[in-house]
């Protein structure tokens, strides 16, 4: 059975510590057929300050060291990027995405909008359900701009902020955000883009099923699976279960990418 992990981070990411070669070996050990390294390139840092550069030299050096070590039948390594909030600077996004060896771009939102201070969602105040709702309103407004920008191949972890929202007067769900979610999915489909099932290292699975079913009902076909691993021990976690969710939602293929071109791999 084919298994791919299209969301992982190496030491090229600000929050990564491990070489690409270690991540690739972990993917082989986990029985994966393909791993895509998608290191962070966020246009706002954790405090909300603007960033417009990416260390391609380091990324390419790491990839060139790792790929030959793991070039074997049944496994391949791909070079990706997780591009955070590219709609904030289309010219910079276009420049960064012009790297000819780039295979794949995840489009993501990790921060509040600049108008709301730009702080990373990880550090925000979620002490009340009202604070969570305010953050979600801002998140989906930014995600809508990202979806319309087209500077991505797949929308990353659409339900991302829920990871951190555990208010005392909760729980917080996406009830009431159905229309916004559908608008996002329609925008991606109209631009021949896709969505990701992000397992958060095996911690988020069942929550994806309703969204997958809606995406499929709208005609969505491009879908990737990612563990969001930042360490070798988490590579591939939850991936097999996520593939089961794809089948349950009616998908016959998972998508992989080569030089930004989608390739559809049967999963049934």
Share of the chain above pLDDT 70, in %: 100
Pure H helices in 104-190: 129-149, 178-190
pLDDT digits (tens, 9 = 90+) for 101-128: 999 999 999 999 999 999 999 999 999 9
Residue 13 pLDDT level (bands cut at 50, 70, 90): very high
* pLDDT the model gives residue 129: 95
pLDDT digits (tens, 9 = 90+) for 134-185: 999 999 999 999 999 999 999 999 999 999 999 999 889 999 999 999 999 9
- Angstrom CA distances, 245 to 81, 154, 237, stand at 25, 18, 14
- Give the three-class secondary structure for 124: coil
Q: In the predicted model, is pLDDT for residue 253 greater than 90?
A: yes
4-266 fold: TIM Barrel (3.20.20)
Residue 12 pLDDT level (bands cut at 50, 70, 90): very high
Residue 77 pLDDT level (bands cut at 50, 70, 90): very high
pLDDT digits (tens, 9 = 90+) for 182-210: 999 999 999 999 999 999 999 999 999 99
- Angstrom CA distances, 15 to 3, 46, 126, 168, stand at 25, 11, 22, 29
Which run of H or E residues covers position 83? strand 76-84
Q: In the predicted model, is pLDDT for residue 70 greater than 90?
A: no
Residue 71 pLDDT level (bands cut at 50, 70, 90): confident
Q: In the predicted model, is pLDDT for residue 68 greater than 90?
A: no
Which run of H or E residues covers position 212? helix 209-217
Contact between residue 31 and residue 4 where contact means Cβ atoms under 8 Å apart? no
Domain segments of the chain: what residues?
4-266
């Amino acid at each position: 059975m084919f298994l791919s992990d299209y969301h992982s981070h190496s030491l090229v990411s600000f929050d990564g510590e491990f070489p690409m070669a270690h991540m690739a070996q972990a993917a082989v050990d986990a029985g994966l057929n393909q791993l895509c390294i998608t290191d962070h390139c966020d246009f706002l840092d954790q405090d909300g300050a603007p960033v417009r550069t990416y260390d391609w030299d380091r990324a390419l050096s790491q990839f060139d060291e790792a790929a030959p070590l793991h070039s074997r039948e049944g496994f391949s390594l791909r070079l990706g990027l997780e591009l955070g909030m590219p709609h904030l600077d289309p010219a910079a996004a276009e420049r960064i995405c012009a790297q000819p060896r780039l295979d794949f771009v995840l489009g993501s939102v990790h921060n509040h909008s600049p108008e709301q201070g730009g702080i990373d969602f990880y550090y925000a105040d979620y002490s009340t359900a009202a604070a969570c709702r305010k953050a979600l309103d801002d998140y989906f407004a930014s995600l809508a701009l990202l979806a319309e920008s087209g500077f991505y191949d797949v929308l990353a972890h659409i339900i991302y902020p829920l990871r951190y929202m555990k208010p005392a007067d909760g729980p917080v769900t996406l009830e009431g955000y159905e229309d916004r979610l559908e608008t996002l999915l329609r925008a991606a489909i109209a631009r021949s883009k896709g969505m990701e099932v992000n397992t958060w290292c095996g911690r988020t699975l069942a929550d994806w099923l309703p969204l997958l079913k809606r995406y499929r009902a709208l005609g969505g076909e491009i879908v990737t699976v990612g563990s969001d691993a930042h360490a070798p021990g988490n590579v591939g976690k939850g991936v097999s279960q996520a593939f089961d969710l794809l089948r349950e939602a009616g998908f016959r293929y998972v998508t992989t990418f080569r030089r930004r071109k989608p390739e559809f791999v049967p999963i049934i």
